[in-house]
Structures are given as C-alpha cells and as structure tokens.
Amino acid sequence: MTSTVVHKSFLKSTAGERLLGFAAASVFSVTYYLAPAWILCAVVLAAFRPFDRLTLVVAGPVFVSLLLPSSIAANVGKRVLRSYPFQQIPKYFAYEEYHEFSDDDVGKAIHISGDRFVFACHPHGVFPFVATCAMLSTLGAPSDTGVSRYEHGQPSEDTPTAVASVLLRIPILKEITGMFGIIDASSDVLANRLKRGSFALYVGGLVEIFLSSRERETVVLRRRKGFIKLALQSGAKIVPVYLFGNTTCLSALTSGPLAALSRKFGVSLTLFWGRWGLPLPRPVKLVYARGRPIDLPHIPNPTQADIDKWHLHYCDKLLTLFDAYKSKNPDYANKTLDIAG
C-alpha cells in the first residue's frame, strides 16, 4: 500500500543551515572528483621525486590511506556524520522519506524476529546523496523514535552497503565510502553476510551513471539477477528502495575514454558537474521511498526458472514503487522508469 505519510522531512530550515549543508555535501563530491588526480600525482611524484618535501605532502595521505583498515573509516565516519555541519545536508536537499515498511518494523524484524534483508537500491547516481541523507537522518534521529537503537535500513554496521571490490582498495575514495559502512559486493561475501545479517546493494551499479540524466531515468536490472538468487538461497527478504534525486543532483560525461575506464573498473573516473558547472551538488529535492519486503521462498538450489520468476516479480514491484512516489519529487512527476540490461 502506498504511504501518504512523510516519515522524515527536512523542509524547514534556515538559509545558514542550507549553506552549511551545501558545504558539507560538497566535501563528498569534490573529494570524489579530485581523488583520481590526487592519486596520480602522488604516484608520479613518488616515482620521480621520492625525497622531495612536496612528495611527502601530496603522497603522504595517499599512502597512509592505503595502510588504514576500513574499520577506522567506519568508526570515525559516524562521528563526522553526526557532527552539526553534516547533519544539515538533508536540509540543503529538502530531503523526505516515505516508508511502506517503517523504521521500527525493520528494526524489530532484524533484531527480534531475526529476519535478513537485501535492501535493493536504485539508481546509483554519480554519488548517492539520497542514501547519504538517509543515513544522516538515521544517525541524527532522537533516541525516543527507536531509530537510533536499531540503526537499520540504511548503510550502517547493522546494514552495510555492498560496493565494487575496487572501491575497497582505492586510497582516499575508500575512506569516503568507508564512512558509511561497506562490504565487498562479491557473491561469496554477500552469501556469507546473509547467514548472519542484512545488506544494502545498488543493483545497477556504476553503469547507471551513463544511462540516466536529469531528463531520463534508467535502472540497470534486466540481467541483474544475482541478488534474487542469493535471496532465494538464503531465505532473505528483498526490500525495494527508490532514491529519487540521485540522477539529478549531479550530471556526468557519458562518453569518451574516461567514461570507458569508469565502466571497466567500476568506479567513477569520468567528469561530472552540478551547481555552477562545478562538481558541487545542485539544490534539488531528494526523496527516499522504501517498499514492502518481498517474501521469497527459501530454495537452496533455485533453478533458472525460479530466479526468472522472482526477478520478474521484483521488477513489477520496483515499477509500482517508482510510479507511486515519483509525484513526491517535482523533477520526476512526468518521468517514466526504463529498465535496461
């Protein structure tokens, strides 16, 4: 059933709060933009001027990042995300959430009933600012709501986000993504995760950057069936999540050698831009919509027919979720959702 209730809303704000939120959000996009060039400069300087002071300044943070375990980024990240400047990010985007499966329902299902979930998120976007706002709103929620007790439903220690293996190894970027709690998206890691917990997954991955735009909404799903197989094998439930605004706050160059490298390595190496033509997020509305869990049968050895059947069912549920909530974001009111390969 479509929810008409706004479960979290950040429409009320001052100009100062929005400005601070803009500055904090820009930290993510600017770092994401500059990191590849920073790493390249560090490698060149280390190769040709290894004992120069400039090399120490430029390459030092990169090599420190290589040595740091991911757990440090997650622990420090939560403190950073709870800080006042970063808590203003949802206000900059006039962020709202709609739940057909409430935070309390998710928390009770995970921590009391022992249910396991795959939170299937769409689309990816250059940087997932909608999911960022979701986690910020969870971390900043007052304890009497029950949200902070569970810290569920968004990327966190309870529900990490699965990312491409390469992102776990790239200096600087692994610290930025690591702030949100991440795990390797390989099938073995995810299967093991579902034995004891839940995770969030961007089903279409980075390739969606090159198929969507401010005018067109496309998710890569038609041949992405691995998450369905995992859910069937483990008995986990799938929760569809649509992130309205991930493709409108930043635009990306969709052709050329940098775009080809991005597709090949599964990380954003392409040029992107937003406000004022710079790598700064536009002040567009962001909306998070979470559907009801899809109960799949537990089939330890599913056939291809089993996988195809439940994949088709999932696609129908995602289209329904998109159509039910697109009117909540003015940029999506007249859009249709295209499901690509």
- pLDDT, greater one: 158 or 132: 132
Residue pointed to by tokens 């709501």: 145
Say what the pTM is.
0.90
Residue 241: predicted pLDDT: 98
Output DSSP code: residue 252: E
In the three-class reduction of DSSP (H, G, I as helix; E, B as strand; rest coil), residue 196 is classed as coil
Q: Angle 226-234/304-325 helices, nearest 10 degrees?
A: 110
User: Which of 320, 308, 302 lies closest to 240, judged by CA?
Assistant: 320
Residue 205: predicted pLDDT: 86
**pLDDT beyond 70 at 305:** yes
Q: Which amino acid is at 156?
A: S
Q: What angle do CA 132, 133, 135 make, to 5 degrees?
A: 65
**In 246-266, which positions are buried (b, 16+ CB within 10 angstroms) versus exposed (e)?**
bbbbbbbeeeeeebeebbeeb
Residue range 165-178, pLDDT digits in tens: 888 888 888 888 88
**pLDDT beyond 70 at 255:** no
Output DSSP code: residue 179: T
DSSP 84-139: HHHHTHHHHTT-EEEESS-HHHHHHHHHTS---EEEEEE---SS-HHHHHHHHHHH
- Beta carbons of 280 and 33 less than 8 angstroms apart: no
Domain ranges of the chain: 8-340
**pLDDT beyond 80 at 153:** no
E strands, the chain, are 8-9, 96-99, 117-122, 161-163, 182-184, 199-202, 217-220, 237-244, 251-252, 272-273, 287-290, 337-340
Tell me the mean pLDDT in the region 328-339.
93
Residue 95: predicted pLDDT: 98
Residue 260: predicted pLDDT: 63
Torsion angles phi and psi, residue 292, rounded to 5: -75, 150
Torsion angles phi and psi, residue 112, rounded to 5: -110, -50
Architecture label for domain 8-340: 3-Layer(aba) Sandwich (3.40)
DSSP bridge partners of 228:
none
**pLDDT beyond 70 at 200:** yes
Considering only CA atoms, give the Rg of the chain: 20
Structure token pair of residue 337:
């959702």
Structure confidence at residue 267 as a pLDDT band (50, 70, 90): low
Give the whole-number percent of the chain exceeding pLDDT 90.
60
Highest mean pLDDT among 57-66, 154-163, 194-203: 194-203
Structure confidence at residue 314 as a pLDDT band (50, 70, 90): very high
- pLDDT, greater one: 218 or 157: 218
**pLDDT beyond 70 at 150:** no
**pLDDT beyond 80 at 217:** yes
